[in-house]
Amino acid sequence: MARKTFVIGVGMTHFDKPGRRNDIDYTDYSLEAMTKALLDADATYDAVQFACVGYIGADSTAGQRALYQLGMTQIPVLNVNNNCATGSTALYTARNAVQAGLAEVALALGFEKMKPGSLGSNFPDRTPPLDWAISQMMELREYDVAAPMTAQIFANAAVEYGETNKNGSATEEAMHLIASKSHTHSTLNPYAQFNQPASVEQVKKARKVFGPMTLLHCSPTSDGAACAIIASEEYVLKHNLGPQAIEITAQVMATDSTLAFDPTGAKKSCVELAGADMTRFAAKKVYTQSGITAKDIDVCELHDCFSGNELITYDALGFCEPGQAVPYTLSGATFHPKFRPKNLQQTGSFHNVTVNTSGGLISKGHPLGATGIAQCAELVWQLRGWCDARQVPSAKRALQHNVGLGGAVVVTLYERASESVKKAEKGWVDPRTRMGYNPAVACRGVSDADVKKVMAGKGSLLGLPSGLYPDVKEKLDAILSAKL
């Protein structure tokens, strides 16, 4: 029988524009995220029995290089690459290790140091994973060699969705509203790459990228890292972590169906090329596994790499009836109540699901390997009730959606722990007290003292728990000073 699994610690770095912090490498971002997550979990690296690391832009075994900063304890380490779903793939793998009884505690880490500009192929001399998708899209829509390929996939998907459902110009208005929402929500997220609000008019007037999408509809490339610690119920109870534990009650990974590429050539669709059916399939399985429906979701972190993808994903996740994503968007149902425009207060029969309180990929940023785990961090904080001004009132269930073209999607359901697990025995210390601040609303660096607290007992590449190497301490101090 599969065991229950819980997130007991999360941590992430600020997401930075590539090149803004040339003094920080992926190892530095990773060290900060891991240290924060282990401090949150009240654990040292010695407790970790399995690790999975996700990244796109680094060499093989870069995951080990990141982890060895906290310990070289001979645990199994897997490195994964699954396009934009890489972070959630690491989370999925770590959770499976705990669920299957292979580990009591597993660590999921995602990081990225990216190149500026839009995404492109790293290996132009080999068959691209998306060659079939691009050729099929070119049969359906005119291809613009000057525009980013991914922007065209998701813009064409949204436009087709609007045409199919006879939404007319309202489709573009819905996309503008989604982009504005993301930028507005991000103003309360201290980790976000962009913290400036953007009105619908500002979104419309930004530089055109492709079709109805302007620059403010698009997620940026980013540098950063995020980490989550997954534990069994036995570990949670033994270490008195119930009050902070958030249960992963269902999680499904899926890949493309023949709706994305029909071998008979009879059905071709830009919506399906963008991964709608694998999201649809994964979401349905999550709801079946957990015994709930989309109407039971309170808050969602959704993969808004572009506004067009958020639009079609409302439908695929079941937040609205099929074909109703445009009126659903225009109802304001996905806004945080604090920011919902006054003219959108009436949502009619639509179920309110606050989407992307973090600002989403569009504003928070999109370091591919870290994105899925950063989504996890935001939802854990929401379900703990730590988010202050951006807190979704009375949030009990949270849904995470992380998709990568080519393709893979991971849909994850989080819930507050049951009372039998959540009950605190004497001696539990709130992580905010232990850390000295609330990481949900303040982005701080880590000190050498923090690193020493979580380092494995036998030491690591950085030194010993009794003292880090002088050059390591000097660099940590410099990074920490730059954040203050």
Residue 414 backbone dihedrals phi, psi, to 5 degrees: -115, 145
Query: Distance between CA 109 and CA 225 in Å, rounded?
Result: 7
For β-strands 246-254 and 5-12, DSSP reports them as antiparallel
The lowest-confidence range among 25-29, 379-383, 475-479 is 475-479
Q: Would the pLDDT of 318 be above 90?
A: yes
Tokens of 387: 């988010």
Query: Distance between CA 67 and CA 62 in Å, rounded?
Result: 9
Query: Distance between CA 70 and CA 190 in Å, rounded?
Result: 26
> Tens digit of pLDDT for each residue in 184-239?
999 999 999 999 999 999 999 999 999 999 999 999 999 999 999 999 999 999 99
Q: How many Cβ atoms are within 10 Å of 294's Cβ, its own excluded?
A: 18
Could you write out the DSSP letters of every residue in 178-190?
HHHHHHHHGGG-T
Query: Distance between CA 29 and CA 34 in Å, rounded?
Result: 9
Query: Distance between CA 95 and CA 246 in Å, rounded?
Result: 13
User: How does residue 113 score in pLDDT terms, banded at 50, 70 and 90?
Assistant: very high
Q: Would the pLDDT of 345 be above 70?
A: no
pTM to 2 decimals?
A: 0.96
Q: What is the pLDDT of residue 348?
A: 64
The lowest-confidence range among 92-106, 162-176, 356-370 is 162-176
SS3 333: coil
Query: Distance between CA 113 and CA 118 in Å, rounded?
Result: 14
Q: Would the pLDDT of 1 be above 70?
A: no
